[in-house]
Amino acid sequence: MRLIYFAWVRERIGKPEEDVELPAGIETVADLLRWLKSRGEEYEHALQFPDVIRVAINQEHVGHREKIAGAREIALFPPMTGG
Amino acid sequence: MAGAVPGIRIQREDFDVAAEIAALTRDRADIGAVVTFSGLCRDEQGALSELELEHYPGMAEAEIGRIAAEATERWPLQGLTVIHRHGKIAPGENIVLVVAASAHRQAAFEAANFLMDYLKSRAPFWKKEHLTDGSHGGWVEAKEADDRAADRWKKSGG
């Protein structure tokens, strides 16, 4: 599964994207954020306050309770500031 | 009524507001109202040297497409163009353009307003400030007021 990061999430994690193999038991977006946060201090720094992280699965906004089965691409980013 | 097919562009280059209006109204006589909104880069009292706009390629087009499609369902529009720039933008330059065309002004005003409120809180763009003193001003923080502005368009019960 491909993970993509934007803005300060990308800067804190230190890479724009990566492919990951998820361990068993990671079913929802919230599970994914919890697991990622445990992967090292750069992830801990980026995902310190998981509630503020916005998530898109296959380029569509989703909530943190969304199931991630079947996702090809999951993006994590801060609240948007376009317009 | 058949809705207009929105024209959506995510681009690095600047745009020409007059040319975009002309493109929507050319060769037709059924449009009675054109509302445009342009968003420009402020210099923040001289403190800002440029804005850097990061975006999510693919999703930016898709999400603005979804918002524009909702606008054409909610209001009787005869034309709709949305352009959002990315990359480095200097103070005084254009960032975003919405052009909404309709038979009557109310639909065009409301659709343009709706588009901008939703773009602010749902289109995957992020602004980073570069300051005139050479430092990074950091990432612009999202405003709660922008979320509230988008919320007011939610249909009751929705």
B104 to chain A, closest Cα gap in Å: 25
Establish if A64 belongs to a structural domain. yes
A60 contacts in chain B (CB < 8 Å): 59, 62-63
Of B123, B102, B103, B145, nearest to A77 by C-alpha is B123
Establish if A10 belongs to a structural domain. yes
Pick the CATH number of B7-140 from 1.20.120.80, 3.90.1010.10, 3.90.1170.40, 3.20.20.450: 3.90.1170.40
- pLDDT value of position A31: 98
Task: Flag whether residue A59 sits within 8 Å of chain B, measured between CB atoms.
Answer: yes
Global pTM value: 0.94
pLDDT tens digits, B7-23: 999 999 999 999 999 99
Establish if A65 belongs to a structural domain. yes
Residue with tokens 């934007």, as numbered in its chain: A6
pLDDT tens digits, B51-89: 999 999 999 999 999 999 999 999 999 999 999 999 999
Q: Average of pLDDT values for B25-52?
A: 96
Of the pLDDT bands very low, low, confident and very high (cuts 50, 70, 90), residue B156 is low
Q: Which of A2, A55, A80 to mutate to test the interface with B (most CBs of B within 10 A)?
A: A80
CATH number of the domain within which A39 lies: 3.10.20.30
Establish if A82 belongs to a structural domain. no
- pLDDT value of position B127: 97
Spatial CB neighbours of B139, under 8 Å, sequence gap ≥ 6: A7, A8, A78, A81, B126, B127, B128, B129
Q: Is the pLDDT of residue B137 over 50?
A: yes
Q: Kindly state the tokens that stand for A10.
A: 């990308």
- pLDDT value of position B80: 98
Establish if A83 belongs to a structural domain. no
Range(s) of the domain holding residue A29: 2-77
Question: Hey, where are the domains in chain B?
Answer: 7-140
Structural domain count, chain A: 1
Of the pLDDT bands very low, low, confident and very high (cuts 50, 70, 90), residue B2 is low
- pLDDT value of position B1: 44
Establish if A28 belongs to a structural domain. yes
B56 contacts in chain A (CB < 8 Å): 4, 6, 56, 59, 75, 77
Establish if A47 belongs to a structural domain. yes
